[in-house]
Amino acid sequence: MSTEDELRALLDETLQLRGRAQAFTAETRLLGELPELDSMAVVLIVEALEERFGLRLEEDEVTAELFATLGSLQAVVDAKRAPC
């Protein structure tokens, strides 16, 4: 499963989108476009990202830019997962 597929599944589960996330592309706008994505949902998604992908997001990394699109979210996950 690709990172993008895993992120779609994570968003679908966490935000209870009932399959809507399966139509998301890298360009799909998230923050400000999905009513389900409020401040509490951001916290839940960060926790889910850390658990599912085994990464750590620092407080200063959790920005509006991170949640701008599915692609911006994927870019951070891919960068965090990349071997050093």
pTM value? 0.92
* pLDDT on residue 82: 77
20-29: pLDDT as tens digits:
999 999 999 9
CA distances from 29 to 25, 43, 51, 70, 82 (A): 9, 18, 23, 7, 24
Q: Is the per-residue pLDDT at 83 higher than 90?
A: no
Q: Structurally, how many domains does the chain consist of? A: 1
Q: Give the structural domain span for 49.
A: 3-81
Over residues 1-13, the mean pLDDT reads 96
CATH of the domain at 60: 1.10.1200.10
